[in-house]
Amino acid sequence: MFRISVFLSVIFLLVSKVSFAQLVADAGPDQVYCNWFDTTYIVLGGDPTASGGIEPYTYMWGVDHPWGIEVFVDDPTLANPLMLYPPPVGQSIWQLYLTVTDADQNVSMDTVEVVFSEFMMHTGHYIFTIDLGDTICFPEPNTFGGFPPQEYLWRPNHGLIDSIGWSMCAAPEYTTNYYVVLTDSVGCVINGSPFVLVIVNPVDIDEQAKARNEINLFPNPAHDFITIDIDPGIQGVLMFRLFDQQGVLVLQQQLHDRQSGIDLSGLSSGLYVYNISNGAGFEYAGKIKVSE
C-alpha cells in the first residue's frame, strides 16, 4: 500500500509539473482604428494576458521601431498597457510583441497587430450645367487614402452610369449633387461631402423660355428675402433648393403656395445656384446674388 501511495504521489507531481509548464501568452485581438486622430488610448493584451504556468508572471512588450516601445505604451511591463497615442506616422500597421515569463522561467510569446487607417478629402467643389439627356463625366473622387485596394461608391444613385468606379459618369434627369463613399481593405469608411453639382436644364430653348415664364423669382440681386411666383399650370409640390458656389446645399424649402417667400437672412453675401423641381419632370435652375 505504501508503495502504491508513493507511486501515485510521484505521478501527481509529474502531471502537475506538466500542467504548470503550459504557459500561454495572449497579446489580445488585432485592432483597427479608422479615425486614429480621435483615439485617446488603446488597451493592449488579452483577458487574461497570461494563463497556465506558475504565477507570478512577468510581462515585456516590444515593437520593431528605433524609438523603442516606451514611445508607444505607458508601461511595457504591464499585462494590459495603454497605447497612449498614434504612431509617428498616420496610416500604418504596427506589430507589437509580448513575452510572458512565469515563476519557473517558462516563456511564451504572442503578437498583436494594430492598424491605423487615414483618409483625406479635398475641399474643391464643381458645378456643371447640362441639358436634359446629356452625360457628364468627372475623373476622380474627392476622398483619398486608406489601405488598398479601395472601393468607391458614388451617391446618390440617380442617373449614374457607373456607380463603383474611380471616375463617375451620369446622365441625371434633374439637378443632383454627387458624393462618393470610400471603403478601404481593412473596412474603414469615409463619406465624402457632396462636391459635384450637376444642374440639368430643359432640353431645348423653347422649354427653357417656358420655364422662365412659369417661374418668377425676385428681387435678384436679393438682400434677405425673395419671392417666387409659380404658374398655376405647374402641378405638384415644388421644392426650392439653394447651393453655394462650392455646391453645398444651404437652404431647402417646399413651395406650397403659388407665391412663396424665402428667408435668406441667414446667408452670407455671394452668388448662389438655385433649383426648383416637382419630382415629376419639371425642372428649373438659375443663379441669384445675395448682398448685404
pLDDT at 205: 47
pLDDT tens by residue, 67-105 = 888 888 999 999 999 987 655 556 788 899 999 999 999
**Average pLDDT for 128-149:** 86
What DSSP string runs through 26-76? -----EEESSGGG---EE-S-SSSEESSSSPPEEEEEESSTT-GGGTBS-T
210: pLDDT confidence band, cut at 50, 70 and 90?
low
Taking the C-alpha atoms of residue 162 and residue 10, their distance in angstroms, rounded to an integer, is 75
State the pLDDT at residue 13: 44
Q: How confident is the model at residue 284 (pLDDT cuts 50, 70, 90)?
A: confident
Closest CA to 214 of 280, 131, 278, 284: 284
User: How confident is the model at residue 213, as a pLDDT?
Assistant: 62
Average pLDDT, the chain: 83
Whether pTM > 0.85 for this model: the answer is no
Domains of the chain: 2-116 (2.60.40.10), 123-201 (2.60.40), 205-290 (2.60.40.3080)
The predicted pLDDT at position 184 comes to 94
Interatomic CA distance for residues 84 and 283, integer angstroms: 54
**DSSP secondary structure code for residue 73 in this structure:** B
